[in-house]
Amino acid sequence: MIFDQTLPAKLDSETRVQLVRFLRPLLDSAADWPGLVRSLAARGYGLGFRDGRLIVVDKMTGQALCTGRDIDRPLAALARRLGRPRLRATADGHSAALA
């Protein structure tokens, strides 16, 4: 997935609460990485990885919305539950996508 190559800006508290309410159940109910990607895609979101962080991306704009940590589901916690994701690095060496 192509996305803005910067980490998302710090969330204000209202935006954070809304993203937690909408996105966290999708992350919590996923049985595997492909299922998580499908679930997010059905709602217009995607996953990216940047500098060791999971990034939730708006698929329409490519804009990075938040990190997993921003919504209390960091990459390390998801990897413990879903297994280590297989990633394909981009040319910049900082970003990756699920392989």
Task: Dump pLDDT digits (tens) for 6-16.
Answer: 788 899 999 99
2 found inside a domain = no
8 found inside a domain = no
85 found inside a domain = yes
SS3 content of the chain, % helix, strand, coil (to 5): 35, 25, 40
* Residue length of the chain: 99
Given phi > 0 = left and psi -120 to 50 = alpha, else beta, which region is 98? beta
**Ordered strands of the 45-50 beta sheet:** 64-67, 53-58, 45-50, 95-98, 87-89
pTM: 0.88
Residue with tokens 């996305």: 3
Instruction: Give CA angle at 95 (16, 11), nearest 5°.
Output: 15
What are 88's two structure tokens? 């394909």
Residue 92: the pLDDT is: 86
11 neighbors 20 (Cβ within 8 angstroms):
no
Q: What is the mean pLDDT of the chain?
A: 92
pLDDT in tens, 79-92: 999 999 999 998 88
Residue 7: the pLDDT is: 82
Residue 47 sits in which domain range?
13-92
18 found inside a domain = yes
97 neighbors 90 (Cβ within 8 angstroms):
yes
One pLDDT digit (tens) per residue for the chain, 99 residues: 555 567 888 999 999 999 999 999 999 999 999 999 999 999 999 999 999 999 999 999 989 999 999 999 999 999 999 999 999 998 888 889 898
